Every structure is written in structure tokens, then in C-alpha cells.
Structure 1
Amino acid sequence: MNLSKLALITVMSIIPFTSNAHTKNLSIQGDHGKLSAVMQTPDGLNKYPLVILCHGFTSSKEVDIFTNLADKLEKNGIASIRFDFNGHGQSEGKFEDMTVINEIEDTKKVYNYVKDLHEVTKIALAGHSQGGVVSSMVAGELGADKIKSLVLMAPAAVLRDDAIRGQIFDIRYDSVNPPKNVDLHDKDHEGYKIGYNYIKTAQTLPIYETAKNYAGPACLIHGTHDIVVPYTYSLHYKEIFKNGELHLIEGDDHGFTHSREKAVNTAKDYLVKTLQNN
């Protein structure tokens, strides 16, 4: 990011809130530098619940699933904040320094920012893929008193098993003695490299052990033909969430290519139900 763009984002982040604002660019200090974020608010409301949106591995805050969800939430009186994790999109940091653990810290930094806004009445989390794992663990750490609702879309809890096996997508590596970095040379992730710390921390990541501490309402959405993260990983989430529900989308893949509107509407409906009606 060039200095002029960073300066613009920083200046915009301190502009006072106005009730008729729709979107506002923010710069929030994360675990590995500044995080680029967009806050979207409903028109004409002085108080509203807010959803923190956490994107997936190599994705960004502008992924269609979340820009679409943010628009639908706004129309239902719910604000959202979506942000780029460290090393992604317009945020600072190197991708190869990214780990799930520092993405958890990024998310808690965003939470700490929005919890102090007097307009925000309740806070929820929604995450896709790796962002789903991050959201589930943050919810487990913060608890239902702070996170009022949770939506996980194709949560990538497979990442721990993959790291133990020494596999990411169709790329294999030595999991016992991982290299300094692994080049993701497939067509969808060309130019990205995961680092040694990503692998080693993923191998012992307490995903379900942490997430099970969350006792609030949770919604799981997963395609039955997801070959990146089999839907059985959401089945296990359903087992640990006492107040959870599971929506399987028949025949769809990891990115909800065939039923994206259905997946987004399912997330929206659940967040409206749990944030506006309780």
C-alpha cells in the first residue's frame, strides 16, 4: 500500500460517525500491522447490532459472499465490518508471516474497536473457510456474553489435519520438518507462500477445543460437495455447539458457487433472527 492511500484510510478512520453513513473506510491496528476495513451501517439508525465478517485463506474483505451479506444486513438494520487479515488485500504484513493465531488476534483487535462504539448494541461473528475457524475460536475465547451470534460458512477445520499430513490443496511437504515456506503454485493461489510458523501452529491448533466454549447461537452452512473442506467438519461443529443448527446445501462446493444467494440468505436470516429478535 502506498503512503498516500494509507494516510487517506487513517484520516477516514477518525471521522465522527453520522447516523446516515452507509460505508466508512477504517484503519485498525492489527497483530501484524494496520488492517484495512470497511464499516457498513444502516441508514437513519442511531443504534444497531453489528457483525464482524472474517474472510478465508488468500481472500479479502471484498469477496462476494461478504459484500452481498453486508448489503442484506444493512437493509435489515444490522451493521457490519469486514476487514483484510494481515498479509491479505490492503492490510499490512506479509502473507507468509500469517498464521491462524495472528488472524485470531486481528479479529479480537477489530472486536475491541467496535465494542467501544456507542452505536453498537450487540456484536456477532461470521466467517468463511479459514475465517470460519478464526470466528469459532474467537467466539470460544470471548464467550456468548460478548459474541451474541455466530455464523460459520464452510469452516476449514480441516487445516489442522492437513498440516499434520503435510498437505495443502494438492501440494505435499515434510510435516515433521517443514520448510521455511511452501509455495502455493496452483492456479488459484499463484504467488502465495505459507510460512513455517503457519504449519507448526496449525498442527496443534485447538480448534474444536476452543470453539466448544461458545454457548451462544451458532449457524453452520456447508456444501455437500465441498472437496476443500468436507462437510463432516461442520457436522463435528454441530456436535459441540449446544445451541447450533446446521444447513447443508446439497451439491454445492467450498465457495458456494452454485447456490451463493441461498448461502448468503441463510446467513442473513439467521443473523436477523438472533440479533434483531432477541
Structure 2
Amino acid sequence: MAEQLASQDAPNPPAPAQRVLMTNTHGEKLVGLLHHMGSDKVVVLCHGFTGSKDYSLITDLAAALTKQGISVFRFDFSGNGESEGEFQYGNYKKEAADLHSVVLYLRQEKYDVAAIVGHSKGGDVVVLYASIYKDVPMVVNLSGRFHLEKGIEERLGKEFMDRINKEGYIDAKDKSGNVLYRVTKESLMERLSHDLHATSLSISKECRFFTIHGSADEIIPVEDAYEFARLIPNHKLRVIEGANHCYTAHRRELSDAVVEAITTSEAGETTP
């Protein structure tokens, strides 16, 4: 199923897109947008936690890449945005499998997947993907978290393990007390089961890997980026000075860095 539409969620919207539906390994429909620029090489963009393909950072990247004539595919992970499925707090491995379904679909349609790009949780998903499937030549991790055991207390409160062991779940709420999402013990354990140290070491040196991170990231510290840089074999690190987690005031620098990474012919060594 396909129809022509343009993004409405970016000050500089990307090229018109074709709406695409595909099915993941659980039989759930995934919804994506394909910006075909005449090239069969395509870059896949992956959103972060509670995000979607229409999050402004994703559409800004799509606009920057399509402006360079690079085809782009952006989609919603299962349980997010327009895609079917139940939202889960963890779900890293399933989201990596969703991404694999996307890559297989694009290959079936005769596209050459040149790179996968993920922001925040999506950054962890592309790291995990590279370690499991080993079938894409380039990965770009934007502000992914290395220490997955951290950042949980800020969302779920202190003594979250005691609470979730007692109740089986925790409802994350906003300041007004409205429930944002439910964290089950199973989904929390799924997050904690991933060892990004071992995952990073298992990525092939044939895969060109880029990490981009803001020096002023208030959600995931820039030190996490240095951990990826230290362990992933064929890696290049770019720290954007002053940028926060969502690159609010640094979207141009982020877009330029992603475009440069994808259009560079060879990955360099890790930079300090």
C-alpha cells in the first residue's frame, strides 16, 4: 500500500515520501515513509524512546540527506507511532528484529541499504543490530546509551527494583500524575539483559561505525560515547560541543555530521 505525502513536521521538510507498510516477524504491520531520490542506495533512520518517524530530529535528518540526493527510509518501531504492536519499555532485541524486517523489505524492493542511523534508544538498537545481523556496511549511533543499567531511576524513581518485584510493573507518570507508559518486570529485565560491552566487541571490523554525541547531553552522558569508541573496531567519534540530547540548538551541526559520515568514503580511526 502506498500513497504520496510530504512531512509536515520539519521547518525544512524532506522530499515527498511514499507510505510503505510491511510486516515484522510477529505479524505486526510496520509503517514507514520512503523518500526515493532516484538512487537505489537508501539510509534507514530509527527513532528513539517513545518517539516516531515524524519526530523533528528524524525529519530534519531526512531533509538533510534527501537534499544531498540520498534516499531515506524512516519508520515506526512496533508499538510506536502508526505501527501495530504493544509499546514496551525495553524491547531492544525486538526493535532490532523490526529493523531487520525493514532491511529485508528494502532489499526485496531492490534497494541497497547503505547505512542505518539511530538516535538515543534507536542508537542502541542499531548497535545491537550490527552485532546480531552483520549485514549493513555502515552504522551511525546518535547519542546511544552504553550503560543500560543507568537512566532508569530518573524515569521510575528510587527503589524501582523493589517496587517492580513486588507489583510486577511500574507506571511511569508525568508531573501531573498522568500515566505515560507501563514498565513491566519482563521489559525492564530485557533492557538490563543487554551487555553493550560485549555487544560492541562483537561488531565486525568490516562495518564502518560512527558515534555522534553532544558534549552537553543531559540525558545520556557523553562519556558513554567514549565507551563505544574504545570498543568498536572500525569506529569514528564526533562530539558536538554544547549540544544537548536532542540537539535542540545544534540540528545543523548534527545533520552536517550525519551527511558527512554517510558520504565519507572511508571510516577513520577513533578521534579523541
Q: Normalised by the size of structure 1, how large is the TM-score?
A: 0.81
Q: Is contact 2:64-2:259 (8 Å) kept?
A: yes
Contact 1:65–1:264 (Cα < 8 Å) also in 2: no
Q: Distance in 2 between matches of 1:86 and 1:173?
A: 29
Gap regions ≥5 residues in structure 2: 4-14, 267-272
Distance 1:157 1:136 in 2: 10
Matched residue, 2:184: 195
- CA shift for structure 1 position 31: 4.5
Looking at structure 1, the residues matched to 91 and 149 of structure 2 have their Cα atoms a distance apart, in angstroms, of 12
Secondary structure of the structure 1 residue equivalent to 2:118: strand
Q: Which residue of 2 aligns with 1:28?
A: 22
Structure 1 counterpart of 2:195: 206
SS at match of 1:263: helix
Cα 1:130–1:274 shift into 2, 3 Å: farther
Structure 1 gaps of 5+ residues are: 1-10, 14-20
Counterparts of 1:8-19 in structure 2 under 5 Å?
11-12=1-2
The answer on whether the counterparts of 1:141 and 1:211 sit within 8 Å (CA) in structure 2 is: no
**What is the alpha-carbon distance in structure 1 between the residues aligned to residue 257 and residue 56 of structure 2?**
15
Go from structure 1 to structure 2 and tell me whether the alpha carbon gap of 1:250 and 1:81 turns closer, same or farther (over 3 Å shift): same
Other-structure match for 1:53: 45
Question: Paired residue for 2:56, among 64, 69, 73?
Answer: 64
Trace 1:128-139 onto structure 2 (pairs within 5 A): 128-139=119-130
Q: Secondary structure at the match of 2:213?
A: strand
Alignment of 1:204-243 (within 5 A): 204-212=193-201, 213-215=203-205, 216-243=207-234
Amino acid paired to 2:21 = S
Q: Sort the Cα spacing of 1:98 and 1:169 in 2 relative to 1 into closer, same or farther, 3 A.
A: closer
Q: Tell me how far 1:241 sits from its aligned partner.
A: 2.1
1:154 shift after superposition: 0.4
**Worse overlay, 174-183 or 30-39:** 174-183
Q: Match for 1:218: what amino acid?
A: F
What's the TM-score, normalizing by structure 2?
Answer: 0.83
Identity %: 25
- Cα deviation per residue 1:222-262 (whole Å; 9 max; x = unaligned)? 11121211111110100122221111122221111121221
Matched, 1:184 2:172: yes
How many correspondences in the alignment?
A: 249
- 1 CA distance for matches of 2:89 and 2:112? 34
Q: CA RMSD in A?
A: 2.4
